Chain A
Amino acid sequence: MKNNHEIKLMTPFTLFLLLVIGLGGVLAVYRLVNGLGASTNLNDDFPWGLWIGFDLLGGVAMAAGGFLIAGAVHLLNMKKYKPIVRPAVLTAFLGYLLAVVALILDLGQPHRIVYPAVMWQVHSIMWVVAMHVIFYTMTLGVESSPMLFEKLKWQKAVDFVNKIIVPVVLFGVMLSVLHQSSLGAVFLIVPGKLSPLWSTTFLPYLFLASSVMMGLSMVSIESIASARSFNHKMNYEILNGLVRGCIIALLVYLVLKLYFLVTGPGVGAAFAGTMEANMYLLEMVGGIILPLAILAGRNRKTEGINAMVTGHVLVIGGVLLNRLNVSISGMYGFQNATGTTYWPSTIEFVITLGLIALGIFLFKLWAKYLPLFPGTEVN
């Protein structure tokens, strides 16, 4: 295998990415040296902010595409999606790595990140999450490893991984299902703090459901973006299939959300005009109903690629917003009772952007040097 010459590294966009990564890197060092108070706007009333709400919760949700596609192909034998298994798994792998980086920066004692592996506390959902992250990152590593082995021409290793791939994927799916929902379970213990618009004992399953549509949308966007930037041919069969899956997931999620709205705080709560209510409406309309309409109503004859992009972007934005709502806006009313406020600091924003840029850059690098798209047709 040789380098993918179609992929140009030294583009202005890449340089921009590198600039953002560099800036993020410098600020990450600043954060580690000077502490959280010096670099973030976190405080005693808002102990969690952008890095947990967006980087960690959002990053993990984004990675759901990995287990969905790998599962579909390896477990459910949906061969149609085979071409996107590798990018999907890579995205998940990168997503997790970056979430872990964000977590390291967010932890007060970053060097102790491995402690949960030693100091078990099975009553803690955070411990459950930590164990998942450790195992699933390893699983994703295994799932991605054939690309490296192929590049290195370690055929035996490739064969070995291929031999064990089904149980590995199965393990990955099990972990992911649990993990996605567990992140929702993190917020089960704060029913008094979290606005009833989000607070429900079913929260873990809502997280799982939303991660499905998020994962599918991410894989879709990625496929479209890769096809465009790496000059591949669009595979409409795959894309339409993903849209179908996404629509189903959106419908299920919408029904669940409406059910918990009606049985929970009531429809009126969504129209109370408060910051929380408005954020909830934005999430519901902009992140579920609107993309559902766009995706379902796209013109299949023109293959509706723009509608697809719009729909998927809205889904992704909606789920990210949901995670921010659950972890920050939904608790704002409770947490700012003493008058304290939270809005992320510039450093928090730049590091988050740096992590996103790093993800895109690593993806691009991987695509250039490793067999990410084997057998894809070049336009």
Chain B
Amino acid sequence: MAKSVLVDLTRCIGCRGCQVACKEWNERVARKTIFRGDYSNPVRLSSDCYTRIRFEEKEEASGPVWSFVKEQCLHCKNPACVSVCPVAALTKTENGPVVYNYDRCIGCRYCMVSCPFQIPTYEWDSARPWVQKCSFCSERIKDDLVPACIKVCPTTTMFYGEEGEVMLEARKRLQDNPDKYVPHIYGEKEAGGTAWVYISSVPFEDLNFRMDVPQVVLPDLTWAYISKVPALFGVVFVAGVTGWVITRRIDAASKEDQS
């Protein structure tokens, strides 16, 4: 059964326990950072940072609004990255996680280009680099353990469960608290649906969520072309043969004319 997570941003206090737990479980080193004026650090997900909290500060008439947004792989139901990988190094497992297999990766980084959320990252500093991203703690899930970031969250910001159950919970919260939440489950439709979905009291565009993510199953866009490849092959073949036959005939005819 596919696992899914509802991230209720109204509950996150920005303590970043998840960020540290992730580093610990996945044995990711820290990098040297500098304080750039706001609390978000590191400034981006990286091969050493699978998840982080983004601090979003906005000024409203009523005063400041400070939101804490957890970033990690959303584990699309039909992941673009999985579909584009030429060697099937990325796979979508039955449990829900999109996982990466080091043994296959050739390092083309098409997964990174294709991801609508800019999630996969690369070990740029290595001479033998790998793609890195949140694995939804797939090894923990296999052992019936809760993913590390969810385990440490003091406010249960993340509701973890079976796919259907999670969507029901998301809808229920929106329905029960129409004044609290904006009526949008981010990830329900984005990229054709993701295993991690978000609800929020602040419009997602104000939190710098990608609002330009197509609400379609992305691999379908490529498949529409690839599925035509054999036919295209055939068309070119037939055209080529026909062209050859016709031009030879014309040639022969002109030779006959000359003779």
Contact = CB atoms under 8 A, between A and B. Distances in A.
A193 B116 contact: yes
B106 A109 contact: yes
A106 to B, nearest CB: 8
Given A125-B226, A186-B110, A191-B221, A119 B116 contact: no
Contact of B221 (A36, A75, A201): A201
A192 B237 contact: no
Interface stretch (A39-47, A82-90, A277-285, A359-367): A39-47
Interface in A148-205: 166, 170, 173-174, 177-178, 181-182, 185-186, 188-193, 201, 204
Contacts of B213: 192
Contacts of A123: 83, 219, 222-223, 226
Contacts of A181: 225, 232
B121 to A, nearest CB: 4
Interface string A326-339: 00000100110111
B226 to A, nearest CB: 6
Nearest to B249: A77
Residue of B118, B122, B127, B222 ringed by the most chain A CB atoms within 10 A: B222
Contact of A177 (B116, B130, B232): B232
A71 interface: yes
Interface string A108-144: 1110110110011111111111100000000000000
B2 interface: no
B171 interface: no
A283 to B, nearest CB: 20
B129 A108 contact: yes
Contact of A36 (B129, B224, B229): B129
Contact of B225 (A38, A74, A188, A190): A188
A121 B87 contact: yes
Interface in B215-259: 218-219, 221-226, 229, 232-233, 236-237, 240-241, 243-244, 247-248, 250-251
A340 B121 CA distance: 14
B223 A178 contact: no
Contacts of A113: 106
B127 A32 contact: yes
B106 A107 contact: yes
Nearest to B233: A174
B31 to A, nearest CB: 13
B3 interface: no
Interface in B117-139: 118, 121-131
Given A37-B124, A75-B240, A112-B106, A201 B224 contact: yes
Contacts of A188: 221-222, 224-225
B243 A107 contact: no
Interface in A188-224: 188-193, 201, 204
The CB with the most chain B CB atoms within 10 A, among A38, A47, A182, A185, is that of A47
Nearest to B118: A45
A contact residues, range: 35 or more
B170 to A, nearest CB: 23
Given A44-B122, A76-B243, A108 B105 contact: yes
Contact of B124 (A42, A78, A170): A42
Contacts, number: 186
B112 interface: yes
B15 interface: no
Interface residues of B, number: 61
B212 interface: yes
Contacts of A186: 110
A342 B218 CA distance: 26
B103 to A, nearest CB: 10
Nearest to A122: B226
A118 to B, nearest CB: 8
Contact of B106 (A78, A115, A191): A115
A334 to B, nearest CB: 7
B203 interface: no
A369 interface: no
Contacts of B240: 71, 75, 170, 173-174
B113 interface: yes
A378 interface: no
B226 A170 contact: no
Contact of B116 (A71, A77, A109, A190): A190
Contacts of B127: 32-35
Contacts of B72: none
A109 B233 CA distance: 31
Top 6 nearest A-B pairs (CB, nearest first) are: A108-B107, A37-B124, A77-B247, A127-B86, A47-B112, A126-B86
Given A116-B87, A189-B114, 18 more contacts: A44-B112, A44-B122, A47-B122, A76-B244, A77-B248, A108-B107, A115-B106, A119-B87, A126-B85, A126-B110, A173-B240, A181-B225, A188-B221, A191-B221, A204-B225, A331-B113, A338-B118, A339-B43
5 contacts: A75-B244, A120-B88, A170-B241, A177-B236, A189-B219
